[in-house]
Amino acid sequence: MTLEAPNSARRGAAALLMRRPQLWGGATAVAAVVIFLLSLAYFGGIVDPGEKLRHLPVAVVNQDRLSPGNTAGKGAQIADALIARADKDQRLRLQPMSMAEATDRLDSGSVYGALVIPPDFSTRLHNLLEQRVATAPEQPEVTLLTNPRAGSLGVSFTSGGLQPAWAAVSRRIGHDLLAQPAARSAAPAARLLLADPLKLTVTPYRPLPANSGIGLSAFYYTVLILLAGYLGASVISGIFDTAVGHAFGEAHASLTYRSPVAISRTRLFLAKCATSAALGPVAATMIASACLLLGVDTPHAALLWVFTSAAIAAVGIGQQALVAAFGSLAPLLGTFIFMALALPSSGGTVPLQALPSFFRFLSLFEPARHIIGGVRSIMYFDARGDAGLAGAWAVTGLAASGALLFGLFVTRRLELRPRLSGQTFAAVRGAATQLFTGPTPSPTLRPEDGAHCDSAGLNTRPGDSAGLNSPPGPHRPGEPGRSRF
């Protein structure tokens, strides 16, 4: 049914809106507050990560073997000195371990680097002091293995935090060497080398593959998962609400409205959740197709597709639970939960150890933190469970189950309360009829007419085949009507 609103009615309505500053002023104020909060959320986690850095995990491997002379055991002394400086500074957390354990930690992304003191470290240092080689003695060298798969910014913090400490330790060792009798007769060039004897070489451990976005592909893949779940659920909810007559549908100049269908809140919520879950594999296929088209490196493609499907479904069910509980506020809440607060606390660009305490707290239960752990494990760490995939599966399942139970609890509780009284519903119908067809007597529903709200919050009369009050004219319950403004 197409209804044409009179021009005078439209002009009068527009003038009425503009004469109410509390309306447009309040809307502007609310939008401004939301934008301010979004700005705080996005910038709050990245303003000064270096200053917020605390206890970034780095392995220390001492393979040094003792050698004769005064330089015996210098590897252990240097490792202890570096650990003591790190404990005092608290920016890095140096953890002594074996080479096998350090390799395992690097392969799982548990550490951002490993400082490896070689077996011949003390021997080289002794030879440097005694000048016992025919050619120029080799400078004692220690290797810092960085872990670019754990995050490029974390690697930068690792090398940037260790190099100043290493330089200080090298000068301290040089001071001790120059004080020994063997160094007093050394040539000036040799004494210059002895003053700063240690060399630090930075080498990436398992460099990132090509087409991995310098380690950011996992982060943007996670963003796509969140967007697919959140936006997909919002679209599904809007279409379903329009189809059952709980909302108007607007396309270009047409406003479509279907008479409400007698469906309970719980059944509607379950239908939305089922559709959001079905969207998961479809959206995962679209993301995988785009990655294939662009040449993005996606190892373990089948496992990545399965995990993506599950994660999108979990996010979608979570958004449907928000819609069931908060109605029109759900898109705004979803923006903060799944985007504004989730991305800064995900650890995808800035390590968790460099985030403010508020975002580190959010990372404990925000979905993005665990989703990116699963994606990063699949894409960078050979799909190891201890690299984040096992935890991601667990959190995804718990989040989907918790959101489903929460939504069922809310909808069941809301069904105990009617959405509209019969009198309010009649007043709304009368106002709509007057707007589109001109002044007509507004229908008045009295208690003796039998008008009431059922468990779905829909007004019904005994004997109404659709369980609804049919609107005037040829428009029947369940049939769409259109109006042009």
DSSP string, 128-156: HHHT-SSSPPPPPEEEEEE-GGG-HHHHH
Q: Which long-range contacts (CB under 8 A, 24 or more apart) does 181-187 make?
A: 182/129, 182/130, 183/129, 186/131
Query: Does residue 446 have a pLDDT over 70?
Result: no
Q: What is the pLDDT of residues 21-54, one digit of tens each?
A: 888 888 899 999 999 999 999 999 888 899 999 9
Report d(CA 280, CA 316) in Å as an integer. Answer: 8
Q: What's the average model confidence in pLDDT over 192-212?
A: 89
Q: Would you give the distance in Å from CA 372 to the centre of its chain?
A: 7
Query: Does residue 450 have a pLDDT over 50?
Result: no
Question: Of 168, 122, 156, 159, which is closest to residue 141 (Cα–Cα)?
Answer: 122
Query: Does residue 458 have a pLDDT over 70?
Result: no
User: Residues in the chain, how many?
Assistant: 485
Report d(CA 258, CA 33) in Å as an integer. Answer: 35
DSSP strand pairing (141-146 vs 199-204): parallel
pLDDT of residue 172: 87
pLDDT of residue 6: 52
Residue 96, strand partner residues: 60
Q: What is the pLDDT of residues 383-405, one digit of tens each?
A: 999 999 999 999 999 999 999 99
| pLDDT class of 452 with cuts at 50, 70, 90 | very low
Q: What's the average model confidence in pLDDT over 205-226?
A: 94
pLDDT of residue 97: 95
Q: What's the average model confidence in pLDDT over 429-451?
A: 51
Query: Does residue 475 have a pLDDT over 50?
Result: no
Q: What is the pLDDT of residues 172-188, one digit of tens each?
A: 888 877 777 766 766 67
Q: What's the average model confidence in pLDDT over 127-151?
A: 77
- Residue scoring higher pLDDT (21 or 269): 269
Helix segments in 327-356, DSSP class H: 330-335
Which domains occur in the chain, in start order?
Answer: 1-13+34-47+209-485 (no CATH), 53-204 (3.40.1710.10)
Verdict on whether the full-model pTM lies above 0.85: no
pLDDT of residue 472: 42
Beta-carbon contacts of residue 261 (< 8 Å; ≥ 6 apart): 243, 244, 245, 458, 466, 468, 477, 478
Question: Burial code of 130-163, b = ≥16 C-beta within 10 A, e = fewer?
Answer: beeeeeebeebebbbbbbbbbbbbbbebbbebbe
Report d(CA 40, CA 383) in Å as an integer. Answer: 34
Q: What's the average model confidence in pLDDT over 72-84?
A: 85
pLDDT of residue 16: 76
pLDDT of residue 9: 56
Query: Does residue 365 have a pLDDT over 90?
Result: no
pLDDT of residue 123: 83
pLDDT of residue 236: 96
The dihedral over CA atoms of 386, 389, 391, 395, expressed in degrees to the nearest 10, equals 180
Q: What is the pLDDT of residues 81-95, one digit of tens each?
A: 999 999 998 999 999
Question: Of 398, 395, 446, which is closest to residue 423 (Cα–Cα)?
Answer: 446
How deeply is 345 buried, as exposed, middle or buried, from its count of CB atoms within 10 A (0-12, 13-18, 19+)?
Answer: buried
Q: What angle do CA 348, 164, 193 make, to 5 degrees?
A: 140
Least confident of 256-270, 336-350, 400-414: 256-270
CB-CB contact of 114 with 58 (8 Å): yes
How deeply is 30 buried, as exposed, middle or buried, from its count of CB atoms within 10 A (0-12, 13-18, 19+)?
Answer: exposed
Residue 316: C-alpha distances to residues 47, 307, 343 (Å): 31, 14, 17
pLDDT of residue 445: 41
Query: Does residue 19 have a pLDDT over 90?
Result: no
Least confident of 34-48, 355-369, 398-412, 459-473: 459-473
Q: What is the pLDDT of residues 59-70, one digit of tens each?
A: 999 998 865 554
Q: What angle do CA 83, 84, 90 make, to 5 degrees?
A: 85
